[in-house]
Structure 1
């Protein structure tokens, strides 16, 4: 277990720290532009879709954009209906991290880190921001290197061998694994990185990796659910819409995991790239299916979302 836990903890810490540095750098460049961008360009679902995509590309985190959007809803700056387009867009923007990782440029990590450290010393605000982005990107790859160390111990573990031997339930276990891990570490990108590391060494089959990716899209919704607690009803509706969108997508794609694996294998030979492409196809198709039907989707969300705020005092009086 020590051979798994220590590299895993180190790798996840470095990965999330790198993501945070990138996010800080991108936020310093975008500044207040991001909030005003979300506020101004959400008049229609299609505007919101574009806005959510761009905002997530800037922040490299769909969860961060979702939390900001819930804040705007709670402040009554945008409505729940306007937020749906943003949710659909975040699903597209979030795949950028996976595609960048799949480029396999980790061998340049040390040079990127050195370049970023030099830029941070410059007096210019933009230079320091670019330095943080470069350094954060390098640290992400260093985290990936640490995560790769757990591949062999996991493969040799009795639990993983038992899971992979369960042909009938293997994909469902992969789905649950993606949900739980992402809910715990609060980052679907980190779960994708772990999956890429394991599939690179052929520790898991591609179909199992795709099942994990599908589960990570549900697990990442827990950030929005936590952010909506204590907020407005519309904020809760937005968190419900985020969860509902990904559950619908998983219901559609789960029976199609094997055909999806064949498609991504035809698109790329490098296994981590296949995982990144599977994530892209899932999010793109899922969002484009819902986009023309935003009004019915909004009505369904309102029907399923909490109708009142949770009151702890009322709960205990019961």
Structure 2
């Protein structure tokens, strides 16, 4: 009877299986240096070599699933092309038939799962104690992933053990061949092993539980069922991994169809032609090999066509992170300029969200309920992925700028376009500066000096106040220019006041010995980048929200010479006069 614990064992196995795939792919990316890539290409550079590689390695490891999962990891790491992967797929299907011969001759098969625990032990211990040796650490991670992968498969088999024991093969005796094919698919999918299914078939026909033709049909089904392992390995993966899984499925289905159509002639050749009517166990092994060879011969001429088909089925995603410019023709200048403006405002909002995530500002009560609407917040993922998307968005904005520039623009339109682009560059620079100083601020928090240790919290508080002030600009879509100008002006003055206050406090800390010269230099440089980034964002938003280019030259002077600007602020000059 299937119990809840069996289900949890099955799910735990699936989790270990997928985590093993992840570790293997991550390790291969780290290890895939130039010499390693050349080695892989050397043995899969042609279809023939790839087929032989798949055949030989599968024969040695006694697991087509292992080879196919490695292929997924290689293509995911970018060291094997789809064409080469197809060759390995074809060879692996032939190589896996060796298992049936071993079972037929010796009554058992060599199982790689038996070494999973030693591999996990070696990989895990090596991974923990090799922090100073990146290559050894990556190798250990590869071993750990490999071991977890097979340990997961073993768990999955254990989780469905009750299901397989409930299966009585006599129930389907005497029915159509299609049902035996389905039984082979189902058993292999459940046990994650075509070899286990074939072993059951060999046991059944040796005791005359089923006839030879029925056993042959179940072997055909097992060949299709083995694709489930590869499909699971490709779930959630990049497109090329899905393409490999699709090719594997197509090849095995085509082979299965050919085998069913040729079932009677093949059975006659084995039972009558070779006289193996009494050698049914060896006959099943021979049948398994023969129909896979037939599938190989039929499929090789179709490789190019199949590759084109899977390319259409799983097109590489077009990473477009823009919201407004992608559907606006750059030739229509009025619409293009409006879309360009909105896109850079979108860039600011995403940069704002990036900074909130980077500095963990969502934990600060004032910002817990003030994030932009879901429509504006399109980016997710890790800090590194988020920043990469910001860079890609900035690149797409620049690409659109180049296409607008190629169109005929009035002089004022051209000036406005250039001014908007400077705003986009400033926003990107500000995000980069604030990202770059974050690691240094984290180091400050570990310092013995209380002044230095409290500095990160000060910067975080200043950033929260800055973002809250700018969020007010987007809460009311109909804000008039006077209100926008007033908000920007007051925020600018506050940024300058905080900058002067921080410099004064740092000077006092140096005088009383709470801050040494070297740390003071690092701290003041971080403050300069922080303040300059806030200024660049403010100037950019002024250009975008007020569409005012009159302050252009003074803005450039101001951003480049903060001391003179500070002097003007101290003298009573406000943001609108810069």
What residue in structure 1 maps to residue 219 of structure 2? Answer: 213
What residue in structure 2 maps to residue 177 of structure 1? Answer: 183
What residue in structure 1 maps to residue 53 of structure 2? Answer: 51
Within the candidate set 274, 277, 283, 2:283 is matched to: 274
> CA 1:195–1:64 in structure 2 vs 1: closer, same or farther (change >3 Å)?
same
Judge which range, 64-73 or 250-259, deviates more: 250-259
Within the candidate set 174, 177, 184, 1:165 is matched to: 174
Where 1:231 maps in the other structure, the secondary structure is coil
What residue in structure 2 maps to residue 123 of structure 1? Answer: none
Q: Write the deviation string for residues 61-86 of structure 1: whole angstroms up to 9, x where unpaired.
A: 11100000000000001111111100
Shift in Å, 1:39: 4.5
Larger Rg: 2
RMSD: 3.3
Checking the alignment, whether the CA contact within 8 Å between 2:37 and 2:79 is kept in structure 1 is no
Q: Does 1:296 align with 2:298?
A: no
Judge which range, 269-278 or 290-299, deviates more: 290-299
Shift in Å, 1:301: 2.8
TM-score (norm 2): 0.37
Shift in Å, 1:185: 0.3
How far, CA to CA, are the matches of 2:269 and 2:243 in structure 1?
35
The alignment covers a number of residue pairs equal to 234
Within the candidate set 183, 187, 198, 2:193 is matched to: 187
How far, CA to CA, are the matches of 1:35 and 1:92 in structure 2?
25
Shift in Å, 1:154: 4.3
Checking the alignment, whether the CA contact within 8 Å between 1:237 and 1:302 is kept in structure 2 is yes
> CA 1:38–1:258 in structure 2 vs 1: closer, same or farther (change >3 Å)?
farther
How far, CA to CA, are the matches of 2:38 and 2:291 in structure 1?
29
Shift in Å, 1:42: 1.0
Q: Write the deviation string for residues 67-111 of structure 1: whole angstroms up to 9, x where unpaired.
A: 0000000000111111110000001110111011111466xx9xx
Checking the alignment, whether the CA contact within 8 Å between 2:181 and 2:221 is kept in structure 1 is yes
> CA 1:188–1:44 in structure 2 vs 1: closer, same or farther (change >3 Å)?
same
Checking the alignment, whether the CA contact within 8 Å between 1:97 and 1:189 is kept in structure 2 is yes
> RCO (CA 8 Å, sep 6+): is it higher in 1 or 2?
1
What residue in structure 1 maps to residue 246 of structure 2? Answer: 240
Q: Does 1:226 align with 2:232?
A: yes
Checking the alignment, whether the CA contact within 8 Å between 1:214 and 1:250 is kept in structure 2 is yes
Structure 1 unaligned regions, length at least 5: 2-31, 113-149, 310-318
Checking the alignment, whether the CA contact within 8 Å between 1:51 and 1:89 is kept in structure 2 is yes
Where 2:237 maps in the other structure, the secondary structure is coil
Q: Write the deviation string for residues 209-253 of structure 1: whole angstroms up to 9, x where unpaired.
A: 111001111100011101111222111100000000011111122
How far, CA to CA, are the matches of 1:308 and 1:279 in structure 2?
39
What residue in structure 2 maps to residue 131 of structure 1? Answer: none
> CA 1:305–1:98 in structure 2 vs 1: closer, same or farther (change >3 Å)?
farther
Shift in Å, 1:303: 3.0
> CA 1:37–1:281 in structure 2 vs 1: closer, same or farther (change >3 Å)?
farther
What residue in structure 2 maps to residue 88 of structure 1? Answer: 90
TM-score (norm 1): 0.66
How far, CA to CA, are the matches of 2:66 and 2:182 in structure 1?
23
> CA 1:36–1:98 in structure 2 vs 1: closer, same or farther (change >3 Å)?
farther
> CA 1:217–1:36 in structure 2 vs 1: closer, same or farther (change >3 Å)?
farther
Q: Write the deviation string for residues 30-83 of structure 1: whole angstroms up to 9, x where unpaired.
A: xx9x99865431111111111111111121111100000000000001111111
